[in-house]
Amino acid sequence: MKRMLTDPDIYLYRESVDFRKSINGLAAIIENDTDLALGTGALFLFTNKQRDKIKILYWDKTGFALWYKRLEKAKYKWPSKEKLQVFRLSQYELEQLLSGFTIIGHKPLKINGLTMT
């Protein structure tokens, strides 16, 4: 993902989404389900039903970009019982999440039998 000069706002969309959706479909989810503005440079995180993939949608001043990551042997910890549709994350929480750590309750994930702390 392109290095950002400033820390963007980061939003995690709680519901799993159909990963056949690309930029237009994910943008429509944000427009229809939230009151967040798409063209601000904010990062919007989505996961699939199996919680082993993440897509990040963002505007980079010339157009929308979509970043995709798949975990090979683990699952992302994602909030599921919360009433909020969207969560705001810090840059640190994003880095932790993309590295395979849970950001929910700050407990380490187990990957391949090893506990990552």
- pLDDT tens profile 40-61: 999 999 999 999 999 999 998 8
Report whether 14 contacts 82 (CB < 8 A): yes
What mean pLDDT value characterizes the chain? 82
Q: Indicate the pLDDT class of residue 65, thresholds 50, 70 and 90.
A: very high
Q: Report the domain count for the chain.
A: 1
Q: Tell me, what's the pLDDT at 86?
A: 87
pTM for this prediction: 0.81
Q: Which domain holds residue 25?
A: 10-91
Which alpha helices (DSSP H) does the chain contain, by range?
Answer: 23-33, 91-98
- 44 occurs within a structural domain: yes
- 70 occurs within a structural domain: yes
- 103 occurs within a structural domain: no
- 32 occurs within a structural domain: yes
Q: Tell me, what's the pLDDT at 70?
A: 92
Tokens, residue 41: 């440079």
Q: State how far the Cα of 91 lies from the Cα of 5, in Å rounded to an integer.
A: 12
**For residue 71, which of 87, 95, 47 has the smallest C-alpha distance?**
47
- 111 occurs within a structural domain: no
- 105 occurs within a structural domain: no
